[in-house]
Amino acid sequence: GDSVTQMEGPVTLSEEAFLTINCTYTATGYPSLFWYVQYPGEGLQLLLKATKADDKGSNKGFEATYRKETTSFHLEKGSVQVSDSAVYFCALSDRNSGSARQLTFGSGTQLTVLP
């Protein structure tokens, strides 16, 4: 079945440091890939996505490139801020359920950015 493996946390960085959170996946088809972010006390929010190989998703300074050859979708940001502190989930969507596609999530990575 489909699965997502992401870097275990927690990750603690100083402000303006470079961030990488690794994510690899296994899927039977051609999945779409996502990064979600969960701020304390809030629901998951879509951060960025990519729907096919070599696509790059980007948002709020975060980027991730869909690498089919390495089955990876690593999240990067060049200069993190304290406000980026949150839990980050990598996910893929490969199966359909009616009109909606189901998501398979990684275990989440807690990021703490110190001032």
Partner 1 sequence: GAVVSQHPSRVICKSGTSVKIECRSLDFQATTMFWYRQFPKKSLMLMATSNEGSKATYEQGVEKDKFLINHASLTLSTLTVTSAHPEDSSFYICSATKNEQFFGPGTRLTVL
Say which DSSP state 45 is in: E
The nearest distance, CB 38 to partner 1, in angstroms, is 8
Number of residues in contact with partner 1, rule: CB under 8 A?
20
The total of other beta-carbon atoms located within 10 Å of residue 98's CB is 5
Residue 29 binds partner 1 (CB under 8 A)? no
Residue 103 CA neighbour count, 13 Å, CB half:
13
Q: Which is nearer to partner 1, 42 or 69 (CB)?
A: 42
Residues that bind partner 1 (CB under 8 A): 4, 36, 41-46, 89, 97-100, 102-108
